[in-house]
Copies of this chain bind each other. A is one copy, B any other.
Amino acid sequence: MNQKKIFLDESKMPKQWYNIQADMPTKLLPPLHPKTMMPVTPEDLAALFPKEIIKQEMSQERWIDIPEEVREKYLIWRPTPLIRASNLEKFLGVTNIKIYYKYEGTSPAGSHKPNTSIPQVYYSKQEGVKKIVTETGAGQWGTALAIACSMFQIESEVFMVKISYNQKPYRKIMMNVFGGTVHPSPSPLTNTGRTILAEDPNCSGSLGIAISEAIEIAVQSSDTKYALGSVLNHVLMHQTIIGLECEKQFESVGDYPDVIVAPLGGGSNFAGVSFPFLRHQLQSGKKVRCVAVEPSSCPKLTKGEFRYDFADNAGFTPLLPMYTLGHNFMPANTHAGGLRYHGASALCSQLLKDKLIEAVSIDQLECFKAGVIFAKTEGIIPAPEASHAIAQVFREVEQAKKEGKPKTILFNLCGHGLLDLQGYQEYFDGKLQDSNFKEADFHESMKALDSFPKI
């Protein structure tokens, strides 16, 4: 039997994160202050983030040291296994196509999110922060933040979109287990929430409202900060530990991926697995295809425009250069909550613009079908987000079969779906539709960007 699970010694866990900004042929356009349209300064961000995070966000250094205390927490579950999908290969009847997946679902949160929540909370703690506030949709990011805050004994407060708060009680309970305070949003705790509730007491909330509430609380006190779970440069950089581990694991079995596949919501999990490999292409031309998979209902990379836009629906953040559907765009309600985001991180957007990465969009029914096959063969029920990568892997296999070429595929299994089983039930019950793209809404939403600088 071939080795199925490729572990990495704890002693070989990477000691630095990789910052792709150092190697990009086109440098990032600066984030702009929405009032002045001038590049934002570190001071502009100081009310929200700790200084070290702001420094990392703007850094051009290629390698950033992972603090010893962060590494110690990572060791709770890292290095994560790289797994050869041998049973899936058998099911697909392939012989010269190898499929590997990096499994990030072994983390305390069940996803890759703690890779960044832990350093973000660590730096906050270092700078005397007492509480971190954030928003969460379906709950993955809120859970990861609550866990990190519990590790460093900082208070955590999470505004959770009310409809998810009511429909997905398990993630809320998980946050409670780790000592997190969770409010359904809109809440009566903020001006934003009170205003909305006065108009509509039954408002079921949105990520935009939850962000507004979190930021409103964060800026009220100098020892309270805010944290973001994707999109920003430092978040993507923290996730590169995924790909850096993969690189060593491939080395240990004498292999190297031809293509890397990952779902893309904001971009952190895609960046995490692919950037460390992409660096060899940028540095020495060693070719690798990096394919980002988005849901058909929210196709910013394949149908959006490269424009300056807000990172949040409410318009509180700086303007970022990104592929976007417009910050007011509300995608259809699919089960991959983590991919229902209007824009892509500046880093991923610039790389796509420069044709250094690829993007595809896939319907959710194709993804659930792929997810069920994966569960039955490999034994892990994938998160709906992760199933997007699996569906694309199946397409890559079909393509390679047609071409009769050998191929080594790596994909990021960014989380398990144990708290997303309701989606699988609806899939089995035939209640899910293919995820339609609301094109008219998109065009409407893009109009709001007319006043922002063109790229």
Contact = CB atoms under 8 A, between A and B. Distances in A.
Interface stretch (A40-48, A127-135, A280-288, A417-425): A417-425
A77 interface: yes
Contact of A376 (B4, B5, B75, B150): B150
A190 interface: no
Contacts of A421: 169-170, 173-174, 177
A253 interface: no
Contact of A5 (B4, B75, B173, B381): B75
Interface string A155-186: 00000000000000110011011110000000
Contacts of A425: 169, 173, 176
A379 B1 CA distance: 33
Interface string A69-102: 0001001110000000001000000000000000
Interface in A365-391: 372, 375-376, 378-381
B178 A72 contact: no
A3 interface: yes
B75 A177 contact: no
Contacts of A424: 173, 176-177
A177 B169 CA distance: 21
A428 interface: yes
Given A1-B72, A110-B418, A147 B177 contact: no
Nearest to A114: B379
Nearest to A423: B173
Contacts of A34: none
Interface string A380-409: 110000000000000000000000000000
A437 interface: no
Interface string A109-151: 0100000000000000000000000000000000000010011
Contacts of A14: none
A75 B375 contact: no
A380 to B, nearest CB: 7
A337 interface: no
Contacts of A179: 376
Given A176-B425, A424-B176, A77 B418 contact: no
A354 interface: no
Contacts of A10: 1, 3-5
A59 interface: no
A147 B3 CA distance: 22
A204 interface: no
Contact of A378 (B76, B174, B372): B76
A375 B418 contact: no
A115 to B, nearest CB: 13
Nearest to A428: B176
A154 to B, nearest CB: 13
Contacts of A108: 375, 379-380
Contacts of A147: 379
A106 interface: yes
A163 to B, nearest CB: 18
A332 to B, nearest CB: 22
Contacts of A173: 421-422, 424-425, 428
**Most B CB within 10 A of own CB, among A108, A150, A177:** A177
Contacts of A380: 108
The 5 closest A-B pairs by CB, nearest first: A108-B379, A173-B421, A76-B379, A173-B425, A170-B421
20 contacts: A3-B10, A4-B75, A7-B7, A108-B375, A108-B379, A147-B379, A150-B376, A151-B379, A169-B421, A169-B425, A170-B418, A170-B422, A173-B421, A173-B424, A174-B381, A174-B421, A176-B428, A177-B376, A177-B421, A418-B418
